[in-house]
C-alpha cells in the first residue's frame, strides 16, 4: 500500500486504532526514519491521547493507558542482550492484556512473543510503501477490518 505522505501514515494509524484488541502484539519493521513512531503516535492520538508521544529510543519502552487500553510502545534498537530484557521486566508485560507496538523487534529475537500483525515500511523517493501481514486469527481479523 502506498503512503504518499505523513498524513497517509496517520490515516492508516487511525484505522488501526479502531481495530486494537487487548493482548495484541504488533511488530513494526523498517529503517531509521521509515515512519514506525509516526504510526504509533497516530494510533495514540486517534485513541484520544493528547500528550507528547516520545520515541522510546533510550527508555526502550513508553507505557500508555488510554481509551481503557494499556499500550506499550517499545523501541528495541538499543536493546543490548537478554539480561537487559529480563531486568526491564518485559517478559511479565506480555500478559495477554497489554497491547504492544514494537519497533526493531529483530533485536529481541527469541525473547518476544510472536506478532499478531507485522507492518513493514519501505522508504521511497517520495513517501513510503507499507505491507502488512497477520500471523494469528486475531491479526487476520484486525487486517480484514482495516
Ligand atoms: N508516508 C510518509 N511519507 C513521507 N514521510 C513520512 C511518512 N510517514 C512518516 N513520514 C516522516 O518520516 C519520518 C519518520 O520518522 P519516525 O520517527 O516515525 O521513524 P521511525 O521508523 O520510528 O524511525 P526509528 O527507527 O529511528 O525510530 C518523520 O519525519 C515523518 O514525518
Ligand atoms: Mg521510531
How many angstroms separate the alpha carbon of residue 114 from the centre of ligand 1? 24
Residue 76: per-residue pLDDT? 98
Residue 43: per-residue pLDDT? 98
Give counts: helices (H), strands (E), the chain.
5, 7
Closest of 121, 113, 118 to residue 135, by C-alpha: 118
Fold of 2-144: Rossmann fold (3.40.50)
Q: Which residues line ligand 1 (CB under 6 A)?
A: 3, 5-6, 8-9, 30, 32-38, 55, 75, 103, 127-128
Residue 86: per-residue pLDDT? 95
Q: Which helix (H) or strand (E) holds 3?
A: strand 2-3
Residue 138: per-residue pLDDT? 98
Mean pLDDT per 10-residue segment, the chain (146 residues):
98 98 98 98 98 94 97 97 95 97 97 97 97 98 97
How many angstroms separate the alpha carbon of residue 32 from the centre of ligand 1? 8
Each domain of the chain, given as residue ranges in start order, spans 2-144
Residue 67: per-residue pLDDT? 96
- Model-wide pTM > 0.85: yes
The sign one gets for the Cα dihedral 3, 29, 60, 116 is positive
Sequence-ordered list of residues with C-beta below 8 angstroms from that of 35, at least 6 positions apart, any chain:
3, 6, 9, 121, 128
Alpha-carbon distance of 38 to 103, in angstroms, equals 11
Q: Which helix (H) or strand (E) holds 14?
A: helix 6-17
Q: Which residues line ion ligand 2, judged by CB < 5 Å?
A: 36-37, 55, 103
How many angstroms separate the alpha carbon of residue 38 from the centre of ligand 1? 6
Residue 53: per-residue pLDDT? 95
How many angstroms separate the alpha carbon of residue 144 from the centre of ligand 2? 26
Cell numbers linked to 72: 506499550
Residue 113: per-residue pLDDT? 96
Amino acid at each position: 500500500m502506498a503512503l504518499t505522505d505523513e498524513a497517509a501514515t496517520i490515516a492508516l494509524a487511525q484505522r488501526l486504532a479502531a481495530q486494537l484488541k487487548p493482548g495484541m502484539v504488533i511488530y513494526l519493521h523498517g529503517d531509521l526514519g521509515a515512519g514506525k513512531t509516526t504510526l504509533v503516535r497516530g494510533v495514540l492520538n486517534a485513541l484520544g491521547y493528547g500528550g507528547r508521544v516520545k520515541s522510546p529510543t533510550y527508555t526502550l519502552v513508553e507505557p500508555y493507558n488510554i481509551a481503557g487500553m494499556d499500550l506499550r510502545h517499545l523501541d528495541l534498537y538499543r536493546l543490548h542482550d537478554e539480561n537487559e530484557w529480563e531486568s526491564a521486566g518485559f517478559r511479565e508485560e506480555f500478559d495477554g492484556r497489554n497491547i504492544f507496538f514494537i519497533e526493531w523487534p529483530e533485536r529481541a529475537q527469541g525473547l518476544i512473543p510472536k506478532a499478531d500483525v507485522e507492518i513493514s515500511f519501505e522508504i521511497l523517493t517520495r513517501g513510503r510503501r507499507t505491507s502488512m501481514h497477520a500471523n494469528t486469527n486475531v491479526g487476520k481479523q484486525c487486517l480484514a477490518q482495516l
